Amino acid sequence: MDTKFIKKEDGEKGILEAARLLKNGELVAIPTETVYGLAANALDGDAVEKIFLAKGRPQDNPLIVHISQTDEILPLVEGFDDRAKALAEAFWPGPLTIILPKSERIPTQVSAGLDTVAVRMPSHPTARAIIKACGFPLAAPSANTSGKPSPTSAAHVMDDMNGKIAAVVDGGNCDVGIESTVITLAQNTPRILRPGGITHEQLESVLGNVEIDKAVFKALENDEKVLSPGMKYKHYSPNARVIIVKGSLENFAKFAADRQEKTCVVCFDGEERAMSVPAFSYGHADNPQEQARELFDVLRRVDDENMELALVRFPSLDGVGIAVYNRLLRAAGFEVVEL
Ligand code: TXA
Ligand code: MG
């Protein structure tokens, strides 16, 4: 299949072309403020099935449904309660996904057999314009091959999906750079299943007590029950082995210099000169937003340079830094070294 590249300059025409393909049951990668999504008509189970094939995604991992305005959630869920309303009011459009009991409109392919559905209203104007032009919600996981780092540019999407999907819509580099926060309201106490652009503190300021699922920072045992199936899988990984390293800059640089493998480092801006191996920086040490924005691009560059090992400076844990650490832990298969 020829994958069409829809350019920013195509404007309204490009949006209508993307909508036409989606109405035909095709897959189109679309920009969002978090990462690029691989979209299909969320109400068409056959179209949604193609997403799993293109990504090589495990069948038991449910998808997020994207809407362009808040009232579009009403037919998709069973009960849009006060808590959900308050969250939507505070954080939509934006990087927050809300899980609620699903209505019968949601095909089983979307919910992967669960009785809940995840819904999000992205803030990227192109994403919302495409949903509007379609007239139906879009199911969209991140537009990467399953297991790989999520795409934060149209070029990343082409690297993984060229030839497998109908089109990619270029909307520039993603502002947030990591995926949305996923919170479930399908239980008494709201719980964060995946940290992201909206922080725990922000959520508690609206809802009061919010739990954080233990899978956020911990590898799960094989037989452990998970609320969010996505947490089970190895994720965001380059081909290179990734290790998160905690310690002073000097000790870090020495540790990297002593490795036998083809090694690179992922360090903070301004630290490159202290390194004797190739260095990729992912933002300033005290700026978790920058680290989020640049992380996935850097992980992809590690593979472009055919590295065997990437040693990553321990990220800031402030605000969105928790989400950066969560992604790094998965990329590293939970390998953390303290010097
Ligand atoms: O920012 C984002 O959320 C991006 C953009 C494209 O919107 N999408 C995204 O989708 O990250 P995906 O499929 O890569 O991640 C969705 C996560 C998975 O961990 C999945 O298991 C979880 O959300 N999820 C989806 N529906 C769920 C449900 N009903 N119950 C529990 N977890 C669910
Ligand atoms: Mg994903």
**pLDDT at position 331 over 90:** yes
Closest residue (by CA) to atom 19 of ligand 1? 230
- Asked whether residue 69 is domain-assigned, the answer is yes
Cα(250)–Cα(112) distance, rounded to whole angstroms?
Answer: 48
Question: Taking 70 as the threshold, does the pLDDT of residue 275 lie above it?
Answer: yes
Q: What is the pLDDT of residue 232?
A: 65
Domain containing 27 — which CATH number? 3.90.870.10
* Rounded average pLDDT over 44-60: 96
Per-residue model confidence as pLDDT tens digits over 255-269: 999 999 999 999 999
Q: Is 65 in the pocket of ligand 1 (CB under 6 A)?
A: no
The enclosing domain of 292 has a CATH number of: 3.40.50.11030
Instruction: Using most ligand atoms within 8 A of CB, pick from 57, 61, 64 the residue to mutate for ligand 1.
Output: 64
Buried/exposed 312-339: b ≥16 CB within 10 Å, e otherwise:
bbbbbeebbbbbbbbbbbbbbeeeeeee
**Residue 225 forms part of a structural domain:** no
- How far is ligand 1, taken at its centre, from the CA of residue 61, in Å? 8
**120-162 pLDDT, tens per residue?**
999 999 999 999 999 999 999 999 999 999 999 999 999 999 9
Same domain (yes/no): 58, 127: yes
What digits encode the pLDDT tens for the residues 219-241?
777 667 777 776 666 677 889 99
Residue 233's pLDDT is what? Answer: 63
Q: What angle do CA 185, 191, 193 make, to 5 degrees?
A: 105
Taking the centre of ligand 1 as the mean of its atom positions, its distance from the CA of residue 214, in whole angstroms, is 17
CB 268 within 8 A of CB 284: yes
- Going by their DSSP bridges, the two strands 138-139 and 64-66 should be labelled as antiparallel
Q: Is 181 in the pocket of ligand 1 (CB under 6 A)?
A: no
What is the pLDDT at residue 235? Answer: 73
Q: CA–CA separation, 277 vs 305, rounded Å?
A: 12
Nearest CA residue ID for atom 18, ligand 1: 230
Q: Do residue 20 and residue 146 come from a single domain? A: yes
Quote the CA–CA distance of 255 and 228 in Å, as a whole number: 36
- Helix, strand, coil percentages for the chain (3-state, nearest 5): 35, 20, 45
Q: Which two tokens stand for residue 7?
A: 């350019």
16: confidence class by pLDDT, cuts 50, 70, 90 = very high
What domain range is 16 assigned to?
4-216
261 within some domain: yes
Q: Decide if 246 is inside a domain.
A: yes
Q: What is the pLDDT of residues 25-35, one digit of tens each?
A: 999 999 999 99
Domain membership flag for residue 43: yes
pLDDT at 44: 98
289, 178: one domain: no
Domain membership flag for residue 193: yes
Query: How far does Cα 182 stand from its chain's mean position?
Result: 10
Q: Is residue 173 in contact with ligand 1, taking CB distance under 6 Å?
A: no
Same domain, 168 and 281: no
Tell whether 77 is covered by a domain: yes
pLDDT at 218: 83
Measured distance CA(315)–CA(266) in Å, rounded: 10
Same domain, yes or no: 20 and 129? yes
> In this model, does residue 102 exceed pLDDT 80?
yes
Distance between CA atoms of residues 228 and 191, nearest Å: 11
Can you give the pLDDT at residue 255?
97
Domain total of the chain: 2
